[in-house]
Amino acid sequence: MAREYFAGVMSGTSLDGVDAVIADFSPSGDKPCNTLGASHVGFHSMLRDELLALQQPGNNELARAASAANMLAELYAAAIASALEAAKLTAADITAAGVHGQTLRHRPDLGITVQLNNAARVAEKAGMVVVSDFRSRDVAAGGQGAPLVPAFHAALFARPDRHRVIVNVGGIANMTDLPEDGQVRGFDTGPGNVLSDLWCARNRGAPFDAQGAWASTGHVIPALLEVLLADPFFSASPPKSTHRDKFNLQWLEGRLRESGTKAEAEDVQATLVALTARTIADAIRGYAPDAQEVLVCGGGARNATLLQRLAEELTPRKIGTTGDAGVAVEQVEALAFAWLAREALAGRPGNLPAVTGAKGPRVLGAIYPR
């Protein structure tokens, strides 16, 4: 039997680094793929700072963005090489790599989505076909361009005897509804880790609050939470998606002023975790009220404080992680882009119009030959 090996690479809104996987899509039981190898390559502080700066207009940003894209390409290729080593395979064994790129702008309402990448450089360095730029075609078709993972979530986690919801908590959080009837829905619910990461960096000098330990020392501020929840994004009907363009320090500072909050930093941190939990829970209560099980993936799945709050919000539903279903929480998105690369090469649509709002199914991604 011919093997179908694909690489998947993801660097998300949290800006913590690059996750890469080698996936085997050869038929094997009831799972669409198996992970053969995985790697994580962290961002060095200079690149992370530059990517944060490029989220906003600035001096000489076109040249700076191109330079950052080259640095990202080197990291993407290095992550693929490490994953190949873990899988005991070579580049010649891989059909293609799906490389999402680093999102800098996401304004589908303006027809704009920008994922920083130099896919040609990745193809050259990694020595394999690369598929990238997955969002643009969906946006061109009138869609949100995100989230793109629900179709893969359905392939990997849907069960005919169980109503599941998959929640990905990266910088931004999104949910995928997987009812027993197979009618997949999904959308961005709002900030995942992005605000709490930024607040932690400002007040603690650390890029994130490991396991939510700092947040656990604080107390939720009801007045601030009420102001945060009043943002129209949360009550807007899907399809919808968002990014740092909206949820950033400026947004948070404005709400702190509006609420008149003079609180300890750890109380603000606790409130930001509560915001993430509440908006995810509200989305599930509103659009998947009959769900029996919620599986969390992404960096937020490592945040014990967030998982505890989600369990409190969503009782009596069972709350777990995708690890409980056999897929490591940090690998799900990278696997999704390996799957999307496979769909692109096969000429199959990768989007779900019911999720993104596009005019119809579209083949996603631009292909860079080996």
pLDDT at 28: 67
Count of domains forming the chain: 2
Both 304 and 213 in one domain: the answer is yes
Q: Which residues of the chain have pLDDT under 70?
A: 1-2, 27-30
Both 141 and 218 in one domain: the answer is no
pLDDT at 12: 83
pLDDT at 1: 55
pLDDT at 342: 97
Both 321 and 350 in one domain: the answer is no
Name the residue range of residue 349's domain. 5-147+331-368
Both 158 and 177 in one domain: the answer is yes
CATH of the domain at 343: 3.30.420.40
Burial of 288 (C-beta count, 10 Å sphere; 0-12/13-18/19+): buried
Say how many C-beta atoms besides its own lie within 10 A of residue 223's C-beta: 13
pLDDT at 29: 61
Both 307 and 176 in one domain: the answer is yes
Both 359 and 306 in one domain: the answer is no
Both 242 and 135 in one domain: the answer is no
Both 134 and 11 in one domain: the answer is yes
Both 161 and 105 in one domain: the answer is no
H or E segment and range at residue 74: helix 61-87
Both 195 and 121 in one domain: the answer is no
Both 39 and 68 in one domain: the answer is yes
Both 136 and 177 in one domain: the answer is no
Give the E-state strand segments of 164-260 in sequence order: 164-169, 172-178, 185-191
pLDDT at 3: 83
The pLDDT mean for the chain works out to 95
d(CA 185, CA 151): 9
What is the per-residue pLDDT across 111-169, written as a single tens digit (0 to 9) for each?
999 999 999 999 999 999 999 999 999 999 999 999 999 999 999 999 999 999 999 99
pLDDT at 258: 94
pLDDT at 56: 85
